[in-house]
Amino acid sequence: MAAHNATHAPDHASDSVRDREIEAEQTHLDRVYRRLEEKIHEAEFLMDDAAKRGQVGTPGAYAERDAQVFQAGVHLHRLNSEYEDFLFGRIDLLLGKDGKKGPDGAFTSVEPADGAIENNRAEIAETLHIGRLGVLDADYSPLVIDWRAPAAAPFYRATPVAPGRVVRRRVIRSKGRKVLGVEDDLMRPEVTATLAGRELPAIGDGALMAALGRARSHTMRDIVASIQAEQDMVIRAPAASVTEVEGGPGTGKTAVALHRAAYLLYQDRRRYAGGILIVSPTPLLVAYTEGVLPSLGEEGQVAIRALGSLVEGAEATAYDSPAVARIKGSARMQKLLRKAARGALELAAPAASPDGTGPAAAADEDGQLSLEDLFAPPPDSGAAQETRRARRTRSRSPRPAAAAPARLRVVAFGGRIELDADELHAIRQSALGGTAPVNLLRPRARRLILDALWAKSGAARRYTDPELAAEAREGFDEDITTEHDFQEFLDSWWPELTPRGVLAAMADERLLGRWARRTLNQREVRQLARSLQRLDAHGHGPLSVHDVALLDELQLILGAPMRPARPREADPLDHLTGLEELTTYADRNGGGRRRRERLEEERTEYAHVIVDEAQDLTPMQWRMVGRRGRHATWTVVGDPAQSSWSDPDEAAVARDEALGTRPRRRFTLTVNYRNPAEIADLASRVLALAMPGMQSPKAVRSTGLEPRFALTFDGSGPAGDQALARATVAEAERLLGEVDGTVGVVVAMNRREQARSWLAPLGDRVVALGSLEAKGLEYDATLVVSPAEIADESPAGLRVLYVALTRATQQLTVLSAERDEPDASAVPDLLRD
């Protein structure tokens, strides 16, 4: 940890020295902006020039134009982006061991030259400014080093214990083009260093503390100016294989994951043109974090998706009870879904003509084969009535109706050939024997039907010459299969199943019971079927986050529908870069967003997958995420102590399967940057219950403000609810007065809606959250309502409570009701020492 361990020089520098230092940084920033303006003009000129070349219209001119447009687009996008603090850091360095310079114009040596320090005095040999992007002066000297460049690493890694060449690290605070302040950390406080004959001053109390003390808003800030050494190790870890990061609440796992995405793109833009996927547990966390990457200069190549939005066209909006979530997330679902997909085929109604009489006979030209009343059961048969009923039901409601098995009848070679229900059933079973996706087995089933009809026709016996027999068979097949009615039969008998359709079919408790015979017990069948009844017959309706993983699994089991693949739009720049950065140019010309959205739609696999809050993925979700990174490298961040999944062993197996046998690199983050020590200490009591023996991360600061304990005491029922509402609102109001930023109120999941309505009048600085929604988020102040209610919600309830208690950056109140068994000081049983 750099700043944490650094000696913060007490702020003895006089105001005039501070002003002089700010002015010096202002002069540098002005120079940077002048250079940026020159670059913007250059880029605009290139764009104009490119447009003119485009009018010439020869292939060579087009290629040249495209290359120029790309370059210019990249520049313009980056330079036009408004950054609050484009330039945020500076390091003053001793002379290096060797005099080599890297591509960014900085000296590469990490260690100081012998004799760089003599009698604790030294001369600063190099000053580097660090910013969101690199900028070179016209003479190629570095005006700003990109924060991800190797030359910037000492800014994050230097500590007083291992300072390398760094004497002073400075964080520069600016807004727009104005420098507002500087904060210094001395890495060699014992050394008196001079720069251009003047002693190097140290100003401020340290940048990290300044950053941590800021009020929180509804969006996360990047930490680019104050990344700590242990975090930097993760961010800059090699991309290959799997990087696993564990750390307690507030250790910066999410921040590190986001910065790592930006770092990887910087390192190897070509490789990550395949896209980086960041998987987040909730849409709330996506909304909270998605501004960070643009602030780091990266957009377009990184998709941040909530677990409930990973499947195209599906968006989870509903919540399952913990019991149902446990069923849907479990690996047992694989087997059940395979059965359901096969079972759903049986539900298809046969295609009879509406009046049951079927199509008229169709005589073929050579008189060998005619098709007659092809697929209909006899009009008066029970099966026909059943079929008609089924069709009526189907037109009212497309849920696949249970129907009598059809028989298939053709007239060929002057006689009738018929496959009865049992024979069709046997054919279906035989086609399903393989493991191929159900929708893709249809051609095989079709072939088996034709084989059976051919065998029954006895025609094969009439041909001694195999060539003639093959020819006859070919004609036979063609005649049958080109018949519209045959195709209709096939559509009904082996319909194309959709994941949503199968999920909807599982809402039928009786059918589900059949399919789940060896997988779920009766109670589980009932719970699962009921939870799916909120979907309509097409499977449309409010999906839960766990339903989305089931849809993805079903997509695999069923296979892609058989329609012609949409040709990928040729991108003239693919051969140059494969980058979407072009969209920055195309955006300006209107078509970029559409194109990017389309490409994203088509993209189901990524070059790098980052999983945030990995401890929460269920086995089925690991399978879903794993499919998106089969050839990817991975970064997986999480904290087992915050897991809301009840069976960690089962999830670990699924995680191992998703990550495969790739070698793993492990890191642990140990410092809590979010919670003051007072809040972290209280939370650690729950950690001791939830995961005995697990270490809490060390809080980096303390505020002197102990958590508050409040009570509501009106028993249960509506009166109790009203009392709880009053107490919650009163405390939320009090906290609003205490902090400048946001207040999060965490309640048990089943009180979510209630709490939202209680708190709505307080405005948007207050957010009501169900316990599971609090994951990853943070607020200046947090109110946790009834810890016992949250802890009792599920087998993982204590860990969920631990999450709730670790969301506050400044103040925490715990509100207890009777069931919390509070003591005389209102401390609930679960939080007593």
Ligand X SMILES: Nc1ncnc2c1ncn2[C@@H]1O[C@H](COP(=O)(O)OP(=O)(O)OP(=O)(O)O)[C@@H](O)[C@H]1O
To the question of whether residue 181 is assigned a binding role by annotation, the answer is no
Determine, following the binding rule CB under 6 A, whether residue 250 of this chain makes contact with ligand X.
yes
Judged on CB neighbours under 10 Å (0-12, 13-18, 19+), 369 is: buried
Both structure tokens of 471? 């020819």
Nearest to 243 by CA among 623, 654, 637: 637
Which span sits near ligand X by CB under 6 A: 22-30, 127-135, 249-257, 644-652?
249-257
In the complex, minimum distance from the CB of residue 176 to ligand X, in angstroms, rounded to a whole number: 22
Nearest to 249 by CA among 775, 724, 706, 755: 775
What angle, rounded to 10 degrees, do the helices at 717-738 and 752-759 form?
Answer: 50
Closer CB to ligand X, 32 or 801, in the complex:
801
Q: How far apart are the first and last CA of the chain?
A: 31
Determine, following the binding rule CB under 6 A, whether residue 254 of this chain makes contact with ligand X.
yes
DSSP 612: S
Give the C-alpha separation, 824 to 709, whole Å: 10
Which span sits near ligand X by CB under 6 A: 7-15, 99-107, 242-250, 360-368?
242-250
In the complex, minimum distance from the CB of residue 738 to ligand X, in angstroms, rounded to a whole number: 19
Both structure tokens of 644? 């809301």
Question: Residue 369: phi, psi to the nearest 5?
Answer: -140, 130
Report in angstroms the alpha-carbon separations of 20 from 24, 25, 27, 178, 203.
6, 9, 11, 14, 11
To the question of whether residue 213 is assigned a binding role by annotation, the answer is no
Closer CB to ligand X, 68 or 809, in the complex:
809
In the complex, minimum distance from the CB of residue 30 to ligand X, in angstroms, rounded to a whole number: 27
Binding to ligand X (CB under 6 A): which residues in 567-606? none
In the complex, minimum distance from the CB of residue 436 to ligand X, in angstroms, rounded to a whole number: 42
Report in angstroms the alpha-carbon separations of 701 from 212, 499, 606, 694.
9, 50, 39, 21
Closer CB to ligand X, 243 or 584, in the complex:
243
DSSP 96: B
Q: What beta strand segments (E) does 714-778 contain? A: 743-747, 766-770
Edge to edge, the sheet with strand 808-816 lists: 708-711, 808-816, 779-785, 743-747, 766-770
Closer CB to ligand X, 489 or 673, in the complex:
673
Closer CB to ligand X, 208 or 325, in the complex:
208
Closer CB to ligand X, 97 or 221, in the complex:
221
Determine, following the binding rule CB under 6 A, whether residue 247 of this chain makes contact with ligand X.
yes
Closer CB to ligand X, 209 or 440, in the complex:
209
Give the C-alpha separation, 260 to 254, whole Å: 10
Judged on CB neighbours under 10 Å (0-12, 13-18, 19+), 563 is: exposed
Please name the residues in contact with 474: beta carbons below 8 A apart, sequence gap of 6 or more: none
Which span sits near ligand X by CB under 6 A: 245-253, 387-395, 409-417, 625-633?
245-253
Sign for the CA dihedral angle at 801, 803, 804, 808 comes to positive
Which span sits near ligand X by CB under 6 A: 8-16, 250-258, 454-462, 564-572?
250-258
The one among 249, 283, 343, 499 contacting ligand X by CB under 6 A: 249
The one among 29, 203, 223, 345 contacting ligand X by CB under 6 A: 223
Give the C-alpha separation, 32 to 36, whole Å: 6
The one among 252, 329, 495, 541 contacting ligand X by CB under 6 A: 252
Element (H, E) at 136: strand 135-136
To the question of whether residue 251 is assigned a binding role by annotation, the answer is yes
To the question of whether residue 247 is assigned a binding role by annotation, the answer is yes
Both structure tokens of 231? 């975090």
Q: Are strands 242-247 and 633-638 parallel, antiparallel or unpaired?
A: parallel
DSSP 699: E
Which span sits near ligand X by CB under 6 A: 12-20, 251-259, 513-521, 622-630?
251-259
DSSP letters spanning 220-238: PPP-TTT--HHHHHHHTS-
Determine, following the binding rule CB under 6 A, whether residue 212 of this chain makes contact with ligand X.
yes
Which span sits near ligand X by CB under 6 A: 92-100, 123-131, 224-232, 579-587?
224-232
Closer CB to ligand X, 408 or 680, in the complex:
680
The one among 71, 231, 492, 794 contacting ligand X by CB under 6 A: 231
Nearest to 711 by CA among 786, 648, 768, 655: 786
In the complex, minimum distance from the CB of residue 336 to ligand X, in angstroms, rounded to a whole number: 33
The one among 226, 309, 618, 810 contacting ligand X by CB under 6 A: 226
Closer CB to ligand X, 269 or 698, in the complex:
698
Determine, following the binding rule CB under 6 A, whether residue 276 of this chain makes contact with ligand X.
no
Closer CB to ligand X, 255 or 554, in the complex:
255
The one among 515, 673, 779, 802 contacting ligand X by CB under 6 A: 673
In the complex, minimum distance from the CB of residue 83 to ligand X, in angstroms, rounded to a whole number: 17
Closer CB to ligand X, 53 or 674, in the complex:
674
Binding to ligand X (CB under 6 A): which residues in 64-83? none
Report in angstroms the alpha-carbon separations of 322 from 314, 520, 745.
21, 16, 21
Which span sits near ligand X by CB under 6 A: 48-56, 170-178, 248-256, 554-562?
248-256
Give the C-alpha separation, 676 to 680, whole Å: 6
To the question of whether residue 661 is assigned a binding role by annotation, the answer is no
Give the C-alpha separation, 543 to 535, whole Å: 8
Binding to ligand X (CB under 6 A): which residues in 297-356? none
Which amino acid is located at 41 in the chain?
H
Closer CB to ligand X, 122 or 235, in the complex:
235
Binding to ligand X (CB under 6 A): which residues in 623-652? 639, 642
Binding to ligand X (CB under 6 A): which residues in 719-778? 776, 778
| Helix, strand or coil, per DSSP, at residue 171 | strand
Determine, following the binding rule CB under 6 A, whether residue 806 of this chain makes contact with ligand X.
yes
The one among 68, 71, 174, 228 contacting ligand X by CB under 6 A: 228
Report in angstroms the alpha-carbon separations of 575 from 268, 273, 307, 579.
16, 12, 33, 10
The binding track of 423-462 with respect to ligand X, each residue x by CB under 6 A or -, is: ----------------------------------------
In the complex, minimum distance from the CB of residue 188 to ligand X, in angstroms, rounded to a whole number: 22
Give the C-alpha separation, 520 to 512, whole Å: 10
The binding track of 686-715 with respect to ligand X, each residue x by CB under 6 A or -, is: ------------------------------
Asked if residues 772 and 796 have their Cβ atoms less than 8 Å apart, the reply is: no
To the question of whether residue 742 is assigned a binding role by annotation, the answer is no
In the complex, minimum distance from the CB of residue 207 to ligand X, in angstroms, rounded to a whole number: 8
Give the C-alpha separation, 273 to 753, whole Å: 42
Closer CB to ligand X, 73 or 770, in the complex:
770
CA atoms within 13 A on the CB side of 260: 34
Closer CB to ligand X, 255 or 625, in the complex:
255
Closer CB to ligand X, 231 or 633, in the complex:
231
The one among 68, 71, 251, 810 contacting ligand X by CB under 6 A: 251
Size of the site for ligand X (CB under 6 A): 24
Judged on CB neighbours under 10 Å (0-12, 13-18, 19+), 261 is: buried
Q: What beta strand segments (E) does 287-406 contain? A: 302-306, 316-318, 362-363, 369-371
The one among 106, 151, 208, 729 contacting ligand X by CB under 6 A: 208
- What is the Cα 818 distance to its own chain's centre? 39
Binding residues for ATP: 247-254
- Residues within the interface to ligand X (CB under 6 A): 208, 211-212, 221, 223, 226-228, 231, 247, 249-255, 639, 642, 673-674, 776, 778, 806
Name the binding residues: 247-254
